[in-house]
């Protein structure tokens, strides 16, 4: 067998090996192992965010009339985003359950389970009857599938981040840990491209074509499982096993030792996750209902934003390796704060080209924060409860920021329509919507001043980063 070079995993440049002195019995981490891990993590992220973007677009454009018919379109939109929110509400449960399993039985085992759960749920949505044929059972079944999606997603992205951070060389961890987030872009671009094609149909909600994007999830599942079956366990978890340091109750251990770290993760992600949900979902429905920009505008904006993210994400990873995680994250949170009002003002003008361009510009802040988290979140937690810590921190914040954001935003639009004068009031909703984005961004910026710098941290350390300082 052809020998592959080992990968340096510490600042000293030494490779992690299976020698007894290293405290682990696993094989050397080769270049092939590293890139296989990157592909395995990226494809899982692609499926999660394919589902995420797909459901965003469907909630904004077609789920209302199909599953939540109402004489008032605003009420149908709120109901549609209510089902969207439930998928976020269940994610902390998935984070707790699968995060705990990941710290007890390994990263690979859980990553196989989560991708199966997400993929099956997404595929089943494509097979559901609509309200016209099944009545109340249609939205009930949709919500059930959304809950299964949320359970799997509650630990998928956390597992991808932990796996890649634990595989990567310490000096280049920011770059390699950001690579799985390219899967996020792949999933977003795939969903946007498919919906761009579908919305060209005169009324896609009256056609079977809306089912096709969900059914295509099965292809991503097949490829991701094939790659993950060949994946080795992460180096840090292998060391925990070899040293008999695995905690039987990682969740209890997490709550006992890491409550301050969890709160910091939640605060930090208010900017990124809230901004992501608002710009990728709510902004699209606002453009359609308030300014009349329907058809392919929303999918085109997400498609182009995803392409720009393909440049921003790996570049941000490299910047975090050079300048540190916290300064880079703070810079992108400030960027989002400064652009909140200009972005929503442009969206309120009803100009298609300007709206698409501004959404791409605004989402650059989200991509930058997102990429920096790849290394930052795993580095904040100790090895024994890292998976549970990242999963719980990510998903609790996802409910508070991301899941609630489109629902609150849709309610703001409905309120502005009723109290500020019909169509004109609906357009003026951009002011409180921009304020909402600004508030979430401020929380993210302030939180960065309470987070220790983690660049180059030893991921075999059992202590949280704050305790190791």
Q: Which residue from 225, 164, 154, 150 is spatially nearest to 41, judged by alpha carbons?
A: 164
Enumerate residues 6+ apart whose C-beta is below 8 A from 419: 425
Q: Residue 59's closest CA among 40, 35, 85?
A: 85
pLDDT at 419: 80
* Domain extent at residue 420: 27-468
pLDDT at 5: 40
In eight-state DSSP terms, residue 291 is S
Q: Are 377 and 457 in contact (CB under 8 A)?
A: no
pLDDT of 435 reads 93
Residue 36 belongs to a domain: yes
Q: Does any domain span residue 265?
A: yes
Is 389 part of a structural domain of the chain?
yes
pLDDT value, residue 16: 39
| 194 alpha carbon, distance to own chain's centre | 20
Partner residues linked to 15 by β-bridges: 8
Nearest Cα to Cα of residue 383 among 113, 176, 102: 102
Give me 369's structure tokens: 């924060």
Residues of the chain with pLDDT under 70: 1-28, 52-53, 56-57, 60-61, 70-84, 199-207, 295
Contact 125, 54 (CB under 8 A): no
Contacts of 100 (CB under 8 A, 6+ apart): 250, 251, 387, 388
Task: Check: CB of residue 287 under 8 Å from CB of residue 293.
Answer: yes
Angle formed at CA 306 by CA 392 and CA 79, multiple of 5 degrees: 60
- 48 vs 416: CA distance, rounded Å: 33
Domain annotation covers residue 8: no
pLDDT tens digits, residue range 308-319? 888 899 999 999
In a domain, 419, yes or no: yes
Q: What is the pLDDT of residues 63-77, one digit of tens each?
A: 777 777 765 566 666
Does residue 170 lie in a domain region? Answer: yes
Contacts (Cβ under 8 Å, ≥6 apart) of 195: 54, 57, 61, 213, 296, 298, 299
Whether 3 is in a domain gets the answer no
> 95 lies in a domain?
yes
Q: Cα Rg for the chain, rounded, in angstroms?
A: 22
Mean pLDDT across the chain, nearest whole number?
83
User: What CATH code is carried by the domain that includes residue 213?
Assistant: 1.20.1250.20
Q: Which pLDDT score, from 0 to 100, does residue 10 have?
A: 39
Distances 446 to 137, 270, 396 between C-alpha atoms, Å: 45, 11, 19
Q: What is the C-alpha separation between 432 and 440, in angstroms, rounded? A: 12
The domain tally of the chain equals: 1
Closest C-alpha among 109, 55, 46, 100 to residue 82: 55
Question: Rounded distance, CA 8 to CA 20, Å?
Answer: 18
* CB half-sphere exposure, 40, CA atoms < 13 A: 30
**Any idea how long the chain is?**
469
Name the helix (H) or strand (E) containing 278: none
Render pLDDT for 46-61 as a digit per residue (tens, 0 to 9). 777 777 667 766 776 6
Q: Which residues of 169-191 are buried (b: 16+ CB within 10 A; e: fewer)?
A: bbbbbbbbbbbbbbbbbbbbbbb
In order of 53, 253, 374, 429, the CA distances from 237 in angstroms are: 32, 16, 18, 49
The two tokens of residue 301 are: 């904006």
């Amino acid at each position: 067998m052809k020998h592959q070079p080992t990968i340096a995993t510490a600042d000293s440049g030494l490779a992690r090996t299976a020698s007894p002195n290293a405290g682990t019995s696993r094989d050397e981490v080769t270049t092939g192992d590293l890139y296989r891990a990157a592909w395995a993590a990226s494809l899982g992220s692609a499926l999660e965010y394919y589902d995420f973007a797909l459901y965003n677009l469907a909630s904004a454009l077609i789920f209302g009339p199909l599953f939540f018919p109402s004489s008032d379109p605003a009420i149908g939109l709120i109901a549609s985003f209510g089902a969207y929110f439930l998928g976020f509400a269940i994610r902390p449960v998935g984070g707790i359950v699968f995060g705990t399993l990941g710290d007890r039985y390994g990263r690979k085992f859980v990553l196989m389970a989560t991708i199966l759960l997400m993929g099956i749920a997404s595929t089943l949505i494509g097979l559901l009857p609509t309200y016209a044929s099944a009545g109340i059972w249609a939205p009930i079944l949709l919500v059930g599938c959304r809950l299964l999606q949320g359970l799997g997603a509650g630990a998928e992205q956390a597992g991808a981040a932990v796996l890649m951070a634990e595989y990567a060389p310490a000096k280049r961890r920011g770059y390699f840990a950001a690579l799985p987030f390219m899967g996020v872009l792949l999933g977003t671009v795939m969903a946007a491209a498919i919906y761009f094609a579908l919305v060209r149909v005169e009324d896609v909600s009256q056609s079977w074509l809306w089912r096709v994007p969900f059914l295509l999830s099965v292809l991503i599942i097949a490829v991701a499982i094939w790659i993950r079956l060949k994946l080795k366990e992460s180096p840090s978890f292998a060391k925990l096993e070899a040293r008999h340091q695995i905690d039987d109750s990682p969740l209890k251990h997490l709550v006992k030792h890491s409550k301050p770290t969890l709160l910091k993760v939640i605060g930090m992600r208010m900017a990124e996750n809230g901004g992501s949900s608002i710009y990728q979902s709510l902004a699209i429905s606002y453009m359609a209902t308030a300014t009349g920009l329907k058809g392919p505008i929303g999918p085109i904006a997400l498609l182009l934003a995803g392409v720009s993210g393909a440049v921003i994400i790996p570049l941000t990873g490299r910047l975090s390796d050079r300048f540190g995680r916290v300064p880079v994250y703070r810079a992108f949170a400030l960027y989002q704060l400064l652009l909140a009002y200009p972005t929503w003002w442009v969206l309120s003008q009803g100009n298609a080209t300007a709206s698409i361009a501004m959404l791409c510009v605004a989402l650059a802040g989200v991509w930058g924060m997102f990429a920096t988290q790849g290394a930052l979140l795993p580095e904040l937690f100790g090895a024994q409860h890292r998976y549970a810590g990242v999963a719980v921190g990510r998903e609790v914040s996802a409910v508070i920021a991301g899941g609630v954001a489109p629902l609150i935003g849709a309610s703001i639009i409905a309120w502005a329509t009723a109290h500020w004068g019909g169509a004109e009031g609906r357009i003026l909703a951009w002011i409180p919507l921009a304020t909402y984005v600004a508030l979430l961004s401020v929380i993210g910026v302030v939180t960065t001043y309470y987070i220790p710098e983690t660049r180059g941290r030893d991921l075999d350390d059992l202590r949280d980063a704050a305790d190791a300082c």
